C-alpha cells in the first residue's frame, strides 16, 4: 500500500500533521510553548492563543544559537537572515554579525 504516515480515510487535505483529527499536534520550527499556561502555539502567533501571554523571548522549537525572534511579529528567524520572512522587519542591530554591522555602517556613511 502507500507507505506514508497517512491520516484520514483518503489522505487528502491534511498537511504536515497540523490539521484536525485526533492525532497529537506536531511541533514545527518556531512553535513555542507558553510559559504561563503550557499551550503550544504556532510560530506566527505573537501571543498565546489560550491565555494571551506574549510570545516574545519564549524558547522556540528548533531554535539554534544566533537565530532571533522578530520583535515586530514574534516569528523565529534563522541566524543567516537579516530580515523577518513573515513581516520583513530588519534584524535588530545588537544581533548583527560584527562584520555585517561594520559593512552596514560603512555603507550608511
- pLDDT tens, residue by residue, 81-94: 999 988 999 998 87
Rg (CA), the chain: 18
Looking at the domain assignment, is residue 19 inside a domain? Answer: no
Per-residue pLDDT tens digits of the chain, which is 109 residues long? 544 444 444 444 334 444 444 445 678 888 989 999 999 999 888 899 999 998 877 888 888 999 988 888 878 889 999 999 889 999 988 766 555 555 555 555 6
Looking at the domain assignment, is residue 11 inside a domain? Answer: no
Cα distances from 95 to residues 32, 72, 102, 108, in angstroms, run: 21, 15, 13, 18
Looking at the domain assignment, is residue 44 inside a domain? Answer: yes
Looking at the domain assignment, is residue 30 inside a domain? Answer: yes
Domains in the chain, number:
1
Report pLDDT for 60.
84
Q: What domain range includes position 88? A: 26-109
Q: Extract the runs of DSSP E, i.e. beta strands, from 1-109.
A: 32-33, 40-41, 68-69, 76-77
Nearest to 40 by CA among 48, 19, 67, 14: 48
Amino acid at each position: 500500500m502507500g507507505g506514508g504516515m497517512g491520516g484520514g480515510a483518503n489522505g487528502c487535505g491534511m498537511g504536515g500533521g497540523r490539521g484536525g483529527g485526533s492525532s497529537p499536534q506536531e511541533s514545527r520550527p518556531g512553535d513555542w510553548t507558553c510559559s504561563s499556561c503550557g499551550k503550544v502555539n504556532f510560530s506566527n502567533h505573537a501571543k498565546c492563543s489560550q491565555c494571551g501571554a506574549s510570545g516574545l523571548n519564549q524558547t522556540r522549537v528548533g531554535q539554534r544559537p544566533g537565530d532571533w525572534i522578530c520583535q515586530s511579529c514574534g516569528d523565529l528567524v534563522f541566524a543567516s537572515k537579516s530580515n523577518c520572512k513573515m513581516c520583513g522587519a530588519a534584524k535588530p542591530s545588537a544581533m548583527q554579525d560584527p562584520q555585517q554591522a561594520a559593512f552596514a555602517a560603512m555603507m550608511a556613511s
